[in-house]
Structure 1
Amino acid sequence: MAIVNVSIRNCSYQIACNDGEEENLKNLASSLSDRVDRLSMSYAKANDSLLLVIAALTIENDLEELKKKRHQLPLYDKKEQEKKTVAADNSVSEALDAISEYVENLARKINNL
């Protein structure tokens, strides 16, 4: 198990991940941080917790749209398509798990203030 230091909205967090997944986690955190920063421009008065909830909702929306598009793709080789679907679902699941863990940790920290 590896511990990765990530920064989102100028706050540093230590997040655990499986060995070898450190770079992916850093990239996910960077992407989330960029998304939250962009949202903060539209929601200037929103606090970080609200921005993270909005970011999570937009990510969920993106995921649902991708799932709909996936089902519209032609199925050339059903077994190959299933492998790709499982791999994509696993990647998305891992990303959402990391985001959920981050949001839960942030909520705990906010509650402890």
Structure 2
Amino acid sequence: MARVDIILNGRPYGLACDDGQEQRLRELGSYVDARLREVAHDASGGSETQLLVLTALMLADEIFDLRAELGGPRRPAPVPAQDPTPAPRAEDESVIAAVDSLAKRIEDIAARLDRS
């Protein structure tokens, strides 16, 4: 098990991850930090916890939107006027699987942050 330090909103967090996942976790941390800074810039006041919650909700909203665009279960697909909807392509299914995997990773990171 590897250990990675990431910085969110100027605060360091030490996290454990599987060996070989260190760079990915750093990239995710940088992405979340950038989004957190956007929320902090747009939000007036608020505690760090509130900023983290708002950022998590914003990221979850993005995931839900992506799932919906890719035919995920969150929103019903529009009914086609004439032709039936073709079966999802294999690459669409792989994108959905990738989004699901990212959502799981974000949930895992959030759980680790809660334990820190």
Tell me the TM-score normalized by structure 2.
0.76
Could you tell me which residue of structure 1 aligns to residue 108 of structure 2?
97
Cα separation, partners in 2 of 1:20 and 1:39, compared to 1, 3 Å: same
Q: Residues 50-89 of structure 1 correspond to what in structure 2 (within 5 A)?
A: 50-71=50-71, 75=87, 77=89, 79=90, 81-89=92-100
Question: Contact 2:67 / 2:99 at 8 angstroms: preserved in 1?
Answer: no
Over the residues paired in the alignment, what is the CA RMSD in angstroms? 2.2
- Cα distance in 1, alignment partners of residues 41 and 51 from structure 2: 10
- Count residues in correspondence: 104
Structure (1 or 2) with the larger CA radius of gyration: 2
Work out the CA distance in 1 between the residues paired with 2:46 and 2:86.
42
Higher helix share: 1
Summarize the Cα distance change of 1:9–1:80 in structure 2 as closer, same or farther, 3 Å threshold. closer
- Normalising by structure 1, report the TM-score: 0.78
Structure 1 residues 74 and 27 mapped into 2: Cα distance closer, same or farther (>3 Å)? farther
> In structure 2, do the counterparts of structure 1 residues 59 and 74 end up closer, same or farther at CA, with 3 Å as the change threshold?
farther
Q: Please, which runs of 5 or more residues in structure 2 have no aligned partner?
A: 72-76, 78-84
Structure 1: any 5+ residue segments left out of the alignment?
107-113
